[in-house]
C-alpha cells in the first residue's frame, strides 16, 4: 500500500474537502492520482500556493509552496 499525503492543508484544500491521506494499491496508481490532484489544485485553487508531488519513505507527499 502506498499513501499520498498532503504536507499541509491550505484553505482551498479544506474548502474542496481534499483528503489529507489517501491510500493506493501500487506506486504507479498513487503517483498518477497524486500528479492529477496536484495539477487540478494548481489550476483551480486561488494561486497563492503551488503544489508539487515528492516521494518520501516509499510514499508520496503533495508539497505546498507559496507563490508570493
DSSP 36-63: HHHHHHHHHS-SSEEEEEEEETTEEEEE
Q: What are phi and psi of 56, to 5 degrees?
A: -140, 120
pLDDT of 68 higher than 90? no
pLDDT of 8 higher than 90? yes
- Averaged pLDDT, 25-32: 97
Which residues pair with residue 22 across a beta bridge?
Answer: 4
**Whole-prediction pTM value?**
0.91
Domain ranges of the chain: 1-20+49-68
Mean predicted lDDT score pLDDT of the chain: 95
Percentage of the chain lying above the pLDDT 70 cut: 100
Contact (CB, 8 A) for 4 and 58: no
What pLDDT score does 67 carry?
85
Amino acid at each position: 500500500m502506498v499513501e499520498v499525503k498532503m504536507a499541509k492543508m491550505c484553505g482551498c484544500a479544506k474548502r474542496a474537502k481534499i483528503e489529507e491521506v489517501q491510500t493506493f494499491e501500487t506506486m504507479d496508481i498513487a503517483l498518477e492520482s497524486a500528479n492529477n490532484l496536484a495539477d487540478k489544485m494548481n489550476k483551480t485553487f486561488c494561486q497563492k500556493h503551488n503544489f508539487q508531488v515528492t516521494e518520501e519513505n516509499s510514499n508520496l507527499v503533495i508539497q505546498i509552496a507559496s507563490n508570493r
